[in-house]
């Protein structure tokens, strides 16, 4: 713990030491043998040092119960009060305070009650309980006050830990979101760039004009990918179904893959349009990378309760038959909107990817 916190706690306890004015005044004003005075002063100094050590120890979270220090405080406090009389009975307030901050819950109130009882007994033995009845009461009130403060400190520490944990979770979630966006953005764009570059290389000799057109598309795609990455870094990237289908049509056409998709996309709420746009993009990327498909069919159905988008191809599906990072990212995106993703073999062969999301999806982190 920061040493400044310990000093602050120590300074906070110093006003309580004003109660020691009474035993010191009694020690000066009452004639006593020198040996008694020396022992009394040493006992009071030792009592005060150990008492402050209890409070200082409790400023360190996770420490055990300071049984030894508490025992010393109790023995010295009771011994001095019983030996030297009513002026020293106020030390039992310190005993109650140390018990309230240092003992487990089940031992606090027996210890506080015992301190109050000792204080009352010392006063009664000298016929001063009526005059100084406030001292036993102060023992009990001090126990209540410091126990409440200890509870508030504990709750505040737990809240601080909870805030720190939430902050760490938020950072981790943001990292996952950013990694997912970069994968979806760059995976699609780089696949398209590689495909068109390969096509331009094949056309370079027999159709230079077409090759130049393909390289122009490569340049355009690269510039668009750079802009998308910049937008993603800024947190503003959002792709809709219509734009995703337009990109898919251009990319699949360059690979001689036929795309059958709706010519008109119905109006969708922003979150729904965005998440289904990512579905189209990821499906297109997978087709270009490893499906070997020749035909891709996209259907979009919007009902009152939900929107369903299905992408079916006649290829082999994901490599190895296992979903990759892109499909896992889609599942996370859809789950964040209350939707789900289903993948598997299409009827008659090929691969089928179906996404369903509530038509009025709640807004949450993508």
Nearby residues of 316 by Cβ (< 8 Å), 6 or more positions away: 290, 291, 292, 293, 351
The pLDDT value recorded for residue 3 is: 47
What are 156-162's contacts with CB under 8 Å, separation 24+? Answer: 157/61
Nearest CA to 351 among 329, 325, 328, 319? 319
Domain locations along the chain: 3-163, 239-366
Class of domain 239-366: alpha beta
- CA pair distance 279, 320, nearest whole angstrom: 21
User: Taking the CA atoms of the chain, what radius of gyration do you get in angstroms?
Assistant: 39
353 torsion bin: left (phi>0), alpha (psi -120 to 50), beta (else): beta
pLDDT band of 233, cuts 50, 70, 90: low
Helix 91-102 to helix 134-203 angle (10° resolution) is 30
Record the pTM.
Answer: 0.46
Q: How would residue 6 be classed by pLDDT, with cut points 50, 70 and 90?
A: low
Dihedral of CA atoms 135, 141, 146, 152 in degrees, nearest 10, equals -170
Q: What is the DSSP letter of 15?
A: G
Provide the pLDDT for residue 201.
Answer: 84
What is the token pair recorded at 202? 């094949």
Asked whether 147 and 117 are in contact (CB, 8 A), the reply is: no
Measure the CA–CA gap between 292 and 297, rounded to whole angstroms: 14
Residue with structure tokens 């409440």? 148
Question: Looking at per-residue confidence, does 173 or 74 come out higher?
Answer: 74
Give 294-320 pLDDT, tens digit per residue.
899 999 988 878 899 999 998 876 655
Mean pLDDT of the chain: 80
């Amino acid at each position: 713990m920061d040493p400044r916190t310990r000093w602050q706690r120590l300074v906070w306890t110093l006003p309580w030491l004003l109660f020691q004015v009474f035993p010191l005044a009694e020690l000066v004003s009452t004639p006593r043998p020198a040996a008694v005075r020396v022992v009394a002063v040493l006992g009071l100094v030792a009592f005060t040092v150990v008492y402050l050590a209890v409070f200082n120890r409790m400023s360190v979270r996770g420490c055990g119960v300071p049984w030894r220090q508490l025992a010393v405080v109790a023995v010295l406090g009771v011994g001095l009060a019983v030996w030297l009389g009513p002026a020293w009975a106020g030390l039992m307030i310190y005993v109650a305070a140390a018990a309230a901050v240092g003992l487990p819950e089940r031992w606090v109130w027996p210890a506080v009650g015992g301190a109050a009882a000792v204080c009352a007994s010392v006063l009664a033995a000298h016929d001063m309980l009526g005059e100084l009845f406030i001292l036993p009461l102060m023992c009990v009130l001090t126990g209540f006050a410091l126990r409440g403060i200890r509870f508030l400190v504990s709750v505040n520490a737990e809240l601080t830990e909870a805030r720190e944990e939430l902050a760490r979770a938020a950072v981790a979630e943001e990292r996952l979101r950013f990694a997912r966006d970069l994968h979806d953005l760059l995976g699609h764009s780089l696949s398209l760039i590689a495909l068109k570059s390969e096509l331009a290389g094949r056309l370079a000799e027999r159709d230079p004009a077409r090759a130049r057109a393909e390289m122009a598309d490569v340049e355009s795609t690269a510039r668009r990918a750079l802009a998308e990455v910049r937008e993603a870094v800024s947190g503003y990237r959002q792709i809709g179904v219509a734009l995703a289908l337009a990109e898919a049509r251009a990319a699949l056409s360059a690979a001689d893959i036929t795309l059958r998709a709706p010519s008109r996309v119905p109006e969708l709420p922003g979150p729904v349009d965005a998440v289904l746009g990512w579905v189209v993009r990821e499906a297109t990327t997978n087709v270009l990378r490893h499906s070997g498909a020749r035909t891709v069919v996209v259907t979009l159905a919007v009902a009152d309760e939900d929107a369903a988008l299905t992408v079916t191809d006649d290829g082999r599906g994901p490599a190895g038959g296992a979903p990759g990072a892109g499909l896992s990212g889609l599942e996370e995106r859809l789950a964040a909107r209350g939707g789900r993703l289903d993948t598997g073999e299409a009827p008659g062969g090929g691969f089928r990817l179906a996404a369903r999301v509530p038509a009025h999806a709640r807004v949450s982190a993508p």
